[in-house]
Amino acid sequence: MRALMGIDVGTSSVRSLILDPRGRILSVCREEYRFDIPEIGWAEQDPEVWWHAVCRTARRAVGQAGLGGGEIGAVGFSGQMHGLVPVTRSGEPVRRAIIWCDQRSAEQVRAIRESLGAALGRYTCNTVNTGSLVASLKWMQENERENYARTFAVLLPKDYVRFRMTGRISTDWTDAAGTLAFDVARGCWSEEFLGRLGLHVELFPEVLAPSDVAGPLAPAAAEAMGLSTDCLVVHGGADQVMQALGNGILEPGVASVTIGTGGQVLSLLTEPRYDPGLSSHTFNYLARGQWYFMGATLCAGLSLRWLRDHVLSGLSYGDMAALAAEVPPGSEGLVYLPYLLGERTPHMDPGARGMFFGLSMKHERGHLIRAAMEGVVYSLKECFAVLEALGIRVREVVASGGGSRSPLWLQLQADILNKEIYLSDMSEQASLGAAINAGVGVGCFDSYSSACRGIVTRSPNPYVPDPENAARYGEGFERYKALYRNTRELM
């Protein structure tokens, strides 16, 4: 059996990982990029940027692993969720991708919620929010009619990259669920919902299992990636699902808390769970008959990136962490709302805006950084509050994403969430999950559980809440929630 490649098509970067058949990680290569903000509240990326980053990182990963291109037997995917990539009949992008943190469809979302109300739960078991594929497509139908008319199919980001590899237009059910046009209970596109919106169901691709093989690499793609044409391409799945798989999360009771570009809380379910408060999501997991709860905040790691790039230029993330560590818990009264792109859980409010509250002459750079980190974790605590209100029980929490590589952020999660935080021994969980999924798809592994038993390990020593800090952050959390309530009308 040949080696496996897992590719994570993220918002801030692409990562390509090589896994040998015995479960050893041979190499990981990463290439950063940005998304564009042509107008306030908009967020776009050029799909060609993803493709070229995938090709370059794939070649480097193979070389660093000391392998030849013909020694990679299968490629699998993890991808940023929700984004709209409209393509023509020949597969050319109609326009730049409208990605998950885009807010331009606020008016369309308002109209959908007002016209359909509680029926949304019947159609998809979810509400609709800005940045979702279905909302962005509705915006395009109303505002870019020529582009809508040219659209032959709508893809999600990783599905576009896989199309470039195989020529097949398709998706998987974990990513289809995140379009918010998918009936997660029945496992198919909600034709009734799309009909109510006046959108054409024919635009939506076939839906397969994450472990289904899409086909072999096309010759042009094989040459671009430095691989062989007998390499099989497996569908893959949404980044949150692949990240959870890379953490070995295969049963209810274990939650994943992710701090990446955005932030998410995920926990598996045995049945679809509709949130009557419309503040979270239920999506499909790896196998039929599996679902998961997801709460999300839009600007997690992105808050620190914004500080680094626009306020504290010249500092590395390591410098920022060192400055924040010098500041006492609670940032001496400084509170940050991480709503630079609006907010999802629990507010589902594209009009929410970020702020630092309580600034004084005493506050320095480290205070801004620590307050931002604390504000992100407060937002994740709100996700946990929704999860618990729905009666979902969690006995263990596993940290993921870039935030899991920061000891300070890990301790903040333990203190603010007031929970023990476990950590996988491998930091690139999404691309690892993509490789494991590819291995299941081509028969390298008998099952997800057998693969994870042999590959995924966790540190036996969790980050433990400090009781004094937890009490202080409990008070800070109440101030954080009050700040949004009392300023929303001014945003």
Tell me if domain 3-241 and domain 249-423+460-491 are identical in fold.
yes
Please say whether the beta carbons of 313 and 305 come within 8 A: no
CA distances from 359 to 216, 353, 478, 486 (A): 57, 17, 18, 17
Fold of 3-241: Nucleotidyltransferase; domain 5 (3.30.420)
Query: Helical H runs in 360-466?
Result: 365-389, 407-417, 429-441, 448-455
Q: What is the mean pLDDT of the segment spanning 208-212?
A: 98
Q: Which amino acid is at 6?
A: G
Q: What is the mean pLDDT of the segment spanning 169-174?
A: 98
If 0-12 CB within 10 Å is exposed, 13-18 middle and 19+ buried, where does residue 163 land? buried
pLDDT at 447: 96
Q: Which of 21-25, 99-103, 373-377 has the lowest mean pLDDT?
A: 21-25
| Token reading at 454 | 């042999």
Task: Compute the distance between CA of residue 343 and CA of residue 101 in angstroms, rounded to an integer.
Answer: 9
Q: Which of 276-280, 384-388, 430-434 has the lowest mean pLDDT?
A: 276-280
pLDDT at 314: 82
CA distances from 106 to 285, 419, 466 (A): 28, 35, 41
- pLDDT of 459 > 90? The answer is no
- pLDDT of 134 > 90? The answer is yes
Please say whether the beta carbons of 347 and 279 come within 8 A: yes
What's the mean per-residue pLDDT of the chain? 95
The band of 421, judged by pLDDT with boundaries at 50, 70 and 90, is very high
- pLDDT of 404 > 90? The answer is no
Please say whether the beta carbons of 50 and 160 come within 8 A: yes
Cα dihedral 237/242/243/248 (nearest 10):
160
Read off the pTM. Answer: 0.93
The band of 482, judged by pLDDT with boundaries at 50, 70 and 90, is very high
The band of 202, judged by pLDDT with boundaries at 50, 70 and 90, is very high
Percent of the chain with pLDDT over 70: 100
Q: Active site includes 239?
A: yes
Please say whether the beta carbons of 80 and 133 come within 8 A: no
Query: Helical H runs in 30-83?
Result: 47-64
- pLDDT of 306 > 80? The answer is yes
pLDDT at 403: 84
Task: Compute the distance between CA of residue 60 and CA of residue 313 in angstroms, rounded to an integer.
Answer: 30
| Token reading at 19 | 């896994």
Tokens 């995920």, residue located: 266
| Token reading at 297 | 């905040």
Q: Which amino acid is at 25?
A: I
Residue 149, C-beta contacts closer than 8 angstroms, at least 6 positions apart: none
Task: Compute the distance between CA of residue 127 and CA of residue 261 in angstroms, rounded to an integer.
Answer: 22
**Which stretches of 24-101 are assigned E, i.e. beta strand?**
25-32, 44-45, 72-79, 85-87, 97-98
Task: Compute the distance between CA of residue 430 and CA of residue 190 in angstroms, rounded to an integer.
Answer: 28
CA distances from 426 to 16, 149, 205, 243, 431 (A): 14, 45, 34, 11, 10
Buried b (16+ CB within 10 A) or exposed e, 259-278: bbbbbbbbbbbeebbbbeeb
Q: Which of 36-40, 123-127, 281-285 has the lowest mean pLDDT?
A: 123-127
The band of 488, judged by pLDDT with boundaries at 50, 70 and 90, is very high
Instruction: Tell me how far the alpha carbon of residue 335 is from its chain's centroid.
Output: 25
Domain residue spans of the chain:
3-241, 249-423+460-491
| Angle in degrees, CA 396, 398, 404, rounded to 5 | 150
**CATH numeric code, 249-423+460-491:** 3.30.420.40
**Catalytic entry in 8, 102, 239, 415:** 239
Bigger pLDDT: 427 vs 356: 356
Q: Which of 64, 340, 413 is nearest to 226 (CA)?
A: 64
Residue 21, C-beta contacts closer than 8 angstroms, at least 6 positions apart: 1, 2, 3, 4, 439, 444
